[in-house]
Amino acid sequence: MKTYAVAVGKALALGAMALVDIALVALTLFAFLLTFGLGMIFVFPPTARLIRYRTAFARRLTGSWLGTAVPVPYLPQPLPARPQPDGWYRHERQLYKTPRWPDWNNRWKWMFGDPATWRDGLWLFLNPAVAAALLLLPLTLAAGAVLASRSAVPAAVSPLLGGAAVVALIAVPHLLRGYAWWNRLLLSPTAKSVLAGRVQRLDQVRLATVDSQASELRRIERDLHDGAQARLVAMGMTLGAVEELMDKDPAAAKTLLGKVREASSTALVELRDLVRGIHPPVLAERGLGDAVRALALDSPLKVTVTVDLDARPDSPVESAAYFSISELLTNAARHGGAERVSIDISSHGHALRVVVTDDGAGGADPSLGSGLRGIERRLAAFDGVLAVSSPRGGPTTATFDLPNALAEKRRDSRPLPRGKAIIVGICWGLGWLPLFPQGLVTMVMKIIDTEHLSWFLVLYLPEPLQWPLIVFNISLGLSMYVAGIIIPAMHSSRRRMAEVVPARLWLGR
Amino acid sequence: MSLRVVIAEDLYLLRDGLVHLLQAHDFEVVAAVESGPELLKALIELRPDVAVVDVRLPPTFTDEGLQAALAARRAIPGLPVLVLSQHVEQLYARELLADGSGAIGYLLKDRVFNAEQFVDAVRRVAAGGTAMDPEVIAKLLASTVRHQPLGALTPREREVLELMAEGRSNAAISQRLFLSESAVGKHTASIFAKLDLVPSDDDNRRVLAVLTYLNAARG
C-alpha cells in the first residue's frame, strides 16, 4: 500500500514539474526566436544553461526517485583560451587582447555544437506531453472515477468505475518505469558523445604523460650533469695532477689518489639512487610482488604485503603500480603518522587491484595533496583509477585498479559457456535435418511431383501448408548453421569489442 | 695453501680485475664464468673454497647469479658464497641468510675498491663467517629504529652492533673503533644482555644471532 502511495506522490510531483515546463518551453521558444530570428545570439548560452539546469534536475530525480541512473551526456567544457607567446589570444583567424571573446566563442560553439543540447531541448518540448500521458492521465482517470462513483450513478456502473480506479493505481509504478525509460532515452549520452569524451580525456592524459616524462628526463639529465658527470671530470683532473706529482711528491700523490677513489664511490652512490628512481633493480629482477616486499623491508613502518598474482603485468604497468605504492607508503609515514600498513596486491578479473591501508590519522584528500594527484596522473596513463577513503582519525584506505593490466595474458583463454556450447553443438549436429531431407530434397520432390512420399513428412500434410513449411524448413536449417558459426565468433570478438566500444553503439545512443 | 675461488661476473673488465686482484692476494682462481648456468655447473663440479658471484648475470639479466648461488648451496650446504651487486636489498640478504648455515657474504660492488677490506671479507666468508655490507646493516637498523630494546643501546654499543652485524670479529672491531679488545668484549656482552640473546664466543654464530634478531624485530 505504502509503495503505491509513494509512487502516486512521485508521479504527481513529476507531473506537476512537467506542467511547469510548459512555461519554460514558452520561454525557450521566445529565446530561440530572438536567437535565430533577430540574430541575438547572446541569448542562446543562458537559455541552453537554463535547459541544462532543468535536465540536470530531471537526471537527478530519475536516479534517486526512479532508480534509473542517467549519466551526464555533455562534451567536456572547452579549456580556457591560452595566450600566444606574443600575449595575444587567438580564435580561428582573429586575434584578441583579452581572453574574453575567444572564451565566449568557444563556449558558444561548445553548447551549440553539442548534440546533447538539442536532445535536451527535444526532451523539454515533449516532456509535458509525455508526463501528462504517462503520469497525470491515469491519476486523473482514477480521481474522476472515484468522484463519479460518489455522485449519483446507476448501481451497476459504480463497481466498474471502482475497478478502473484500482487498475489505474496499480499501473502507476509501471508507468513510472516507463517515464524513467523516456528520460533515459533522450537525456543519457549517445555512443558518439561517450567516444568523444573518451577521446578528449585520452588526449589530456597523453599530454600529461608526455609532459611528466619530459620533465622526468630533464631531471635525470640534470642529476647526471651535476652529479656523476661532474665527479668524473673532477676525477680526471685530479688524476692529471697525480701524474704531475708522482715523481716530485709521492706522498701528496697518494693522498690525491685516495680522494679520487672517494669521488668514484660517491659517483656510484649517486648513480645507484638515480637508477632506483628510474626503475628499481628489484622490480626488473623479480617483478612487482618482491619489489613491493623489498620496499616494505626498507620502510620504517611495519608493513605486511600480500600478493596474489598469477601473471606478471607489462613492465610499464608494473612500474606505475610500484611507484604509486611507494608514494602511498611515503604518505602514510610522513603525513598520516601511521605505524602499520598493509598492502594487498591481487588480480581482479583482468584488472590489477592494489589496496593500501594504514592506521594513521587519516584526512588525506586527493584534491589537496600533490602526492595523490601525482599518483592519479601516473595511473591515468593506464586508465587506472585511485579511490581514497580517509576519514579524520583514520584508517586510510587507498585502492587503485589498473584495468586490463593482466588482460594480454588471458585473452581468449576462457571457453564458451556451457549453454552456448550445447546450442552450437545442436545447430551443427542437427542442422542438416531440416535443410536437406525435409527441406531441399522435399522441394525437389514437390517440384517433380513424385508419388513417393516416403520420409518427406511435409508431403503428407494438406496441400496449402506444404510450400510454406518447405520454405520454413530450409530457412530453419540455414539459420541453424549460421548460428553455429556466429555464436563462437561473437564470443571471442565480443569481449574485445566490449572493452573498446561503448555499449549500444548499434542503437545510435 | 692458497684458497680456490670461482668468479662469476658478466662484465669482462670487472671479471678480469677481480681475477687479478684475488690472484695478487694469493688466491687460486679455478674458474671465471660469465653466466648463471655456467656458474652453477662450476660450483657443483669444482667445489671451490669460496665463490664471488654477481647478482645480475646472463641469460636473463635478472637475479640469475643469486638464484644459482642459492641452488648450489641447496646442493652443497654451507658452500661459501660472496655475492656482489650494484645495489643491496634487505630482501636478498634475508634469502641468503635464510638457511642459517653462514659462510655468506653480500657486498656492494663498490667495496672492491678497497682491496684490503674486500679480500678480508672473501677470506672471512671462506672461513665460514659472514660479511654483510654496511649499507644492508644501516637499512636494517634504520627500519628497526622504533623497536624498543634497540633504543636502549648506547651510541657506542650501536656502533659495535653494526660492525658485529657486518660479520667482524672482536679483534677487527677493536681495531676499527680504537678500543681495547676487552672493552669490545664488554660492549658485546652488554648488547647481548640488553637484546636478551644467548652470548656466544663463536664469531659466526654470534653474527647470525644478531641478524636473526634484527630481521625478527622487523616483523
CB pairs under 8 A between A and B: 48
Q: Confidence band (pLDDT; 50, 70, 90) for A507?
A: very low
Could you tell me if A388 and A459 lie in one domain? no
Q: Which amino acid is at A209?
A: T
Could you tell me if A439 and A456 lie in one domain? yes
CB contact under 8 A, B91 and A284: no
Q: Can the peptide bond before residue A73 be classed as cis, meaning omega within 30 degrees of 0?
A: no
Separation in Å, CA of B14 to nearest CA in chain A? 15
Could you tell me if B110 and B175 lie in one domain? no
**The CATH number of the domain where B26 resides is what?**
3.40.50.2300
Q: Is A496 within a domain? A: yes
CB contact under 8 A, B91 and A272: no
Measured between CB atoms, which of A268, A275, A282 is closest to B91? A282
Cell 556466429 sits at which residue?
A486
Could you tell me if A398 and A499 lie in one domain? no
Measured between CB atoms, which of B56, B87, B113 is closest to A265? B113
Query: Which one is predicted more confidently, A399 or A78?
Result: A399
Separation in Å, CA of B121 to nearest CA in chain A? 18
Q: What is the CA radius of gyration of chain B?
A: 17
CB contact under 8 A, A300 and B110: no
Could you tell me if A152 and A215 lie in one domain? no
Q: Are B96 and B88 in contact (CB under 8 A)?
A: no
If we measure between CA atoms, which residue out of A269, A267, A261, A321 comes closest to residue B88? A269
Percent of chain B with pLDDT over 90: 37
CB contact under 8 A, A286 and B94: no
Contacts of A293 in chain B (CB under 8 A): 91
CB contact under 8 A, A299 and B143: yes
Separation in Å, CA of A271 to nearest CA in chain B? 10
Asked which of B132, B160, B181 is the last residue of a domain, the reply is B132
Residue A389 DSSP class: E
Asked which of A410, A436, A464 is the last residue of a domain, the reply is A410
Separation in Å, CA of A236 to nearest CA in chain B? 17
Query: Which one is predicted more confidently, A452 or A264?
Result: A264
Could you tell me if A42 and A150 lie in one domain? yes
Q: Is A97 within a domain? A: no
Separation in Å, CA of A302 to nearest CA in chain B? 7
Q: How far is CA A396 from CA A292, A293, A299, in A?
A: 19, 20, 18
Could you tell me if A309 and A396 lie in one domain? yes
Where on the phi/psi map is residue A480: left (φ > 0), alpha (ψ -120 to 50), or beta?
alpha
Q: What is the CA radius of gyration of chain A?
A: 36
Contacts of B145 in chain A (CB under 8 A): 300
Separation in Å, CA of B136 to nearest CA in chain A? 10
Could you tell me if B12 and B92 lie in one domain? yes
pLDDT at A7: 86
**Segment among A23-37, A399-413, B104-118, B168-182 with least mean pLDDT:** A399-413
The nearest alpha carbon in chain B to A271 belongs to: B86
Q: Confidence band (pLDDT; 50, 70, 90) for A496?
A: low
Average pLDDT over residues B57-72: 90
Asked which of A227, A260, A278 is the last residue of a domain, the reply is A278
**The CATH number of the domain where A353 resides is what?**
3.30.565.10
Could you tell me if A345 and A437 lie in one domain? no
Could you tell me if B78 and B24 lie in one domain? yes
Could you tell me if A491 and A425 lie in one domain? yes
Contacts of A300 in chain B (CB under 8 A): 142-143, 145-146
Domain housing B112: 3-132
Residue B59 CB-density burial (10 A; 0-12 exposed, 13-18 middle, 19+ buried): exposed
Asked which of B84, B103, B132 is the last residue of a domain, the reply is B132
Cell of B161: 652492533
Asked which of A278, A299, A324 is the last residue of a domain, the reply is A278
CB contact under 8 A, A285 and B139: no
Measured between CB atoms, which of B62, B109, B114 is closest to A285? B62
If we measure between CA atoms, which residue out of B72, B81, B174, B91 comes closest to residue B131? B81
Could you tell me if A230 and A268 lie in one domain? yes
Could you tell me if B118 and B160 lie in one domain? no
CB contact under 8 A, A272 and B87: yes
Contacts of A284 in chain B (CB under 8 A): 62
* Maximum pairwise Cα distance, chain B: 50
Rounded to 10°, the helix A370-380/A315-334 angle is 170
Measured between CB atoms, which of B87, B109, B142 is closest to A281? B87
The nearest alpha carbon in chain B to A294 belongs to: B91
Given CA atoms A28, A31, A37, A41 in this order, what sign does their dihedral have? Answer: negative
Average pLDDT of the residues of chain B: 86
**DSSP structure string for A115-141:** HHHHHHHHHHHHHHHHHIIIIIHHHHH
Domain housing A426: 418-507
Query: Which one is predicted more confidently, B10 or A404?
Result: B10
Separation in Å, CA of A385 to nearest CA in chain B? 30
**The CATH number of the domain where B141 resides is what?**
1.10.10.10
- Give the separation between CA A293 and CA A115, rounded to whole angstroms: 51
Residue A318: count of CB within 10 angstroms of its CB: 21
Q: Is A154 within a domain? A: yes
Average pLDDT over residues A120-142: 88
Could you tell me if B114 and B52 lie in one domain? yes
C-beta pairs of B143-151 under 8 Å, 24+ apart in sequence: B143/A297, B143/A298, B143/A299, B143/A300, B143/B90, B143/B218, B144/B214, B144/B217, B144/B218, B145/A300, B146/A300, B146/A339, B147/B217, B149/B194, B149/B195, B149/B196, B150/B195, B150/B217
Q: Is A83 within a domain? A: no
pLDDT at B216 over 70: no
Could you tell me if A153 and A68 lie in one domain? yes
pLDDT at A505: 44
Could you tell me if B164 and B112 lie in one domain? no
pLDDT at A27 over 50: yes
Could you tell me if B54 and B160 lie in one domain? no
Residue A60: count of CB within 10 angstroms of its CB: 11
Helix (H) or strand (E) holding A346: strand A340-348
Could you tell me if A450 and A500 lie in one domain? yes
Could you tell me if B163 and B123 lie in one domain? no
Average pLDDT of the residues of chain A: 84
Percent of chain A with pLDDT over 90: 16
Contacts of B146 in chain A (CB under 8 A): 300, 339
Numbered residues of chain B with Cβ closer than 8 Å to any chain A Cβ: 55-56, 62-63, 86-87, 89-91, 94, 109-110, 113-114, 139, 142-143, 145-146, 218-219
Could you tell me if B11 and B88 lie in one domain? yes
Q: Which amino acid is at A423?
A: I
Query: Which one is predicted more confidently, A360 or B151?
Result: A360
Average pLDDT over residues B102-110: 89
Q: Are B208 and B100 in contact (CB under 8 A)?
A: yes
Contacts of A275 in chain B (CB under 8 A): 86-87
Query: Which one is predicted more confidently, A60 or A417?
Result: A60
Separation in Å, CA of B90 to nearest CA in chain A? 7
Cell of A388: 581514497
CB contact under 8 A, B56 and A285: yes
Average pLDDT over residues B177-189: 86
| Interface ipTM | 0.83
Q: Is A93 within a domain? A: no
Average pLDDT over residues A99-122: 87
Q: Are A327 and A375 in contact (CB under 8 A)?
A: yes
Cell of A273: 639512487
Could you tell me if A154 and A120 lie in one domain? yes
pLDDT at B21 over 90: yes
Structural domain count, chain A: 4
Could you tell me if B12 and B95 lie in one domain? yes
Asked which of B84, B101, B132 is the last residue of a domain, the reply is B132
CB contact under 8 A, A265 and B56: no
- Give the separation between CA A305 and CA A295, rounded to whole angstroms: 10
Could you tell me if B194 and B147 lie in one domain? yes
Could you tell me if B99 and B26 lie in one domain? yes
Q: Is A320 within a domain? A: yes
Structural domain count, chain B: 2
CB contact under 8 A, B63 and A285: yes
The nearest alpha carbon in chain B to A281 belongs to: B87
